[in-house]
Chain A
Amino acid sequence: MTASGRKCNGHRDHWRLWPGVRTVAGLLLLFAAGGVIASEPSPQRQQQLIHMVRQDCGSCHGMTLQGGLGPALLPASLADKPVEGLVATIIFGRPGTAMPPWSRFLAEDEAHWIVNRLLQGFPQ
């Protein structure tokens, strides 16, 4: 998990230059996510992640995730977006927009857990 995380971070500079990296990284993330189901974040970590999404992601996306300066993160607004793309957006950010990379604070499996919860309707 950590190893693949490092690899993805190493690709960061290329990310902007070569869109194909997105697919490669996406696959890496998918692969990473595949191995993650067994290692879901601990209940304590889940609480931290929920707090972080509501409060810190919420400063742009809204505490209720209905959007603000950033877009809404409700199930209906994310339904048509591929999971791996959403995970990559959290981890690497979106250059040219206000979305920063959160890789300093989140492992990919945690970002994946967040995306899955967002798609289901995020816990309070």
Chain B
Amino acid sequence: MNVLPRRLVSLLALILLLAGCGSAPLRGTGDLGLVIERASGHVTLVNTSTRTAYARIGGLGDLSHASVVYSRDARYAYVFGRDGGLSKIDLLEARIVKRVMQSGNAIGGSISQDGRIVVAQNYTPGGIKAFDAETLELLAEVPAEYAPGRFSKVVGLADVPGNKFAYALFDGDEIWVSDFSAPTRPVTTRFPAGRQPYDGLVTPDGRHYLAGLFGEDGVARLDLWQPEKGVARILENYGRGQEKLPVFKMPHLRGWSMAGGRAWLPAIGRHEVLVVDATTWKETARVPVKSQPVFVMASPDGRQVWVNFAFPDNGWEQVIDTLSGQVVQTLQPGKAVLHMEFTPRGESVWISARDDNRVLVYDTRSFRQIASLPAEAPSGIFFTSRAARIGF
């Protein structure tokens, strides 16, 4: 009679011991993310369920204009620093796993459909570089040499199906698509785009690559299902010959522009969001907004589009209701609003206010601020829900 309870006690002790050996309980990463702290080379790791920061990591170099992509298991974040640093961060162990200096001046990156290749887009030397996602070893590079001896800054890099990457050449006026089916031997196809493409996006289905043009009024569109048809122009001459307003910060494009079967795009030099039907690619509306839009970002359900603005109106945020096509809310979240990111299903949006050293969380239904987290000069906010999206 006494033997059994004693065995049970030792079994329980063993279980407790084993549980104690693990450093942390098992968990997923679906509600995690990170915030770039641009001035100090740190990132703050955050949890969107508890709306708290759970770790802070330094030593990441120059993170001004840093961006992040996630491994397909959503455990690792690849951080592309401005100084060309590429760092792989483990969100669960909250540490840098690997870090390489891959160029002199970089602005972002993307990850392949199969998750095996991480590609950085570089200003200096202009081009893209592909790395093994596991080891960060260099696999291949494609210099953006658009004319003999002339290299372009690369913008708008986005992964597209087939382990391909689409990107645009700011100085070369072209869109390039590089096929990494053989990761060490990429094959590149070139398309004329129009003057000074400043950023690009891939539609969430991976079909269309759009490059916004700075040097002329319009957007270049490449149908990746039928690339042989070449680049078509949409929103041509949207400025209608009127003099442009000065642009004090370049807008950013990404696949979040699509909502309700339409693309919501920042105008250049006009205080408008341009709306385009994503079937006919014809302009359907223009939404007047407070200033030069920078990020025009649809909520995951496509019901709202949140817009922030260039200097000197970067303290404002406006929300467009996509059903009515009207601005329904104007907010002042803080000083120097640089970025927004929706939680995976969009019940809240996180907003970075650089000069207030805070990240603010808003409820997307009530527009009330529901949390505020300290962060040193926060810029980009990146949640792991990006891991499963085409074009990120």
Contact = CB atoms under 8 A, between A and B. Distances in A.
Do chains A and B interact in one complex?
yes
Contacts of B246: 93, 100-101
Interface residues of A, number: 18
Contacts of A58: 64
Contact of A100 (B65, B247, B355): B247
Judged by DSSP, the binding face of B is loop
A29 B51 CA distance: 52
Interface in A50-76: 55-56, 58-60, 62-64, 66-69
A98 B292 CA distance: 14
A31 interface: no
A118 to B, nearest CB: 17
B107 A59 contact: no
Contact of B105 (A59, A60, A68, A98): A68
B287 interface: no
Contacts of B249: 56, 59-60
B334 to A, nearest CB: 14
Q: Mostly helix, strand, loop or mixed at chain A's interface?
A: loop
B250 A69 contact: yes
A55 B312 contact: no
Interface in B120-177: 123-124, 153, 155, 170
B123 A69 contact: yes
B274 interface: no
Interface in A61-110: 62-64, 66-69, 93, 98, 100-101, 104-105
B377 to A, nearest CB: 8
B123 A67 contact: yes
A62 B170 CA distance: 16
B276 interface: no
B64 A62 contact: yes
Contact of B336 (A55, A63, A98): A55
A59 B250 contact: yes
B199 to A, nearest CB: 10
Interface in B310-351: 311-312, 336
Contacts of A93: 246
Contacts of A56: 248-249, 311
Contacts of A69: 123, 153, 155, 170, 198, 250
A64 B354 contact: no
Given A55-B354, A56-B249, A62-B105, A98 B214 contact: yes
B228 to A, nearest CB: 31
B127 to A, nearest CB: 16
Contacts of B62: 62-64
A100 B105 contact: no
A63 B105 contact: no
A55 B249 CA distance: 11
Given A62-B105, A66-B105, A98 B196 contact: yes
A63 B82 contact: yes
Given A69-B153, A98-B196, A64 B82 contact: yes
A124 B123 CA distance: 23
Contacts of A55: 336, 354-355
A89 B345 CA distance: 45
Interface string B9-45: 0000000000000000000000000000011000000
B64 A63 contact: yes
A46 B123 CA distance: 30
A67 B105 contact: yes
Interface string B73-112: 0000000001100000000000000000000110100000
B384 to A, nearest CB: 26
Interface string B288-326: 000000000000000000000001100000000000000
Contacts of A64: 62, 64, 82-83
30 contacts: A55-B336, A55-B355, A62-B82, A62-B105, A63-B39, A63-B62, A63-B65, A63-B82, A64-B64, A64-B82, A66-B83, A66-B104, A66-B105, A67-B123, A68-B65, A68-B105, A68-B107, A68-B123, A69-B123, A69-B153, A69-B155, A69-B198, A93-B246, A98-B196, A98-B198, A98-B214, A100-B246, A100-B247, A101-B246, A105-B312
Interface of A: 55-56, 58-60, 62-64, 66-69, 93, 98, 100-101, 104-105
Given A59-B311, A64-B64, A98-B198, 7 more contacts: A59-B249, A60-B250, A62-B105, A67-B105, A69-B153, A98-B196, A98-B247
